[in-house]
């Protein structure tokens, strides 16, 4: 299945939209790292912001201080979240378990 060929204008709009989404995700990760934003707050924002909803859970975890790729993978395994899961794809129980796990640590 091939994608529809985009006109130059459509391509430019898509590039702008993608850049905005990356900027929103980068800001959210920086806020997580600095402690201005909690995981629970970020999960709540995901309902309203498409860019946040499309962020991978592993990226979210790695943005937290003291959590790298190995620890993020271990946390996701403990909570029962697949490595490829995005924030939008978290179920109610998975989101609650993730928030509880991080709050305990």
> Whole-prediction pTM value?
0.84
CA nearest 33: which of 73, 6, 65? 65
Question: Kindly report the CA angle at 30 between 84 and 37, in degrees rounded to 5?
Answer: 90
Instruction: Give me 46's structure tokens.
Output: 């995901």
- Dist. CA 23–CA 16, nearest whole Å: 11
In the chain, the DSSP E strands lie at: none
Instruction: Give me 27's structure tokens.
Output: 């800001």
Helix, strand, coil fractions of the chain, as percent rounded to 5: 70, 0, 30
CATH of 8-104, one of 1.10.490.10, 1.10.8.50, 3.90.1300.10, 3.40.50.720: 1.10.8.50
pLDDT at 1: 63
The residue count of the chain comes to 105
Using DSSP's 3-state secondary structure scheme, residue 67 falls into coil
- Dist. CA 46–CA 85, nearest whole Å: 14
Digitized pLDDT (tens) for each residue of the chain, 105 residues in all: 677 888 989 999 999 999 999 999 999 999 999 999 999 999 999 999 999 999 999 999 999 999 999 999 999 999 999 999 999 999 999 999 999 999 887
Q: Give the start-to-end residue ranges of the domains of the chain.
A: 8-104
């Amino acid at each position: 299945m091939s994608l529809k060929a985009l006109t130059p204008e459509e391509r430019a709009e898509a590039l702008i939209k993608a850049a905005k989404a990356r900027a929103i995700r980068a800001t959210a990760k920086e806020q997580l790292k600095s402690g201005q934003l909690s995981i629970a707050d970020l999960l709540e924002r995901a309902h309203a912001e498409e860019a946040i909803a499309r962020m991978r859970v592993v990226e979210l975890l790695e943005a937290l201080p003291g959590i790298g790729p190995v620890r993020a993978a271990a946390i996701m395994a403990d909570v029962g979240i697949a490595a490829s899961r995005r924030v939008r794809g978290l179920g109610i129980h998975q989101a609650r378990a993730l928030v509880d796990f991080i709050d305990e640590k």
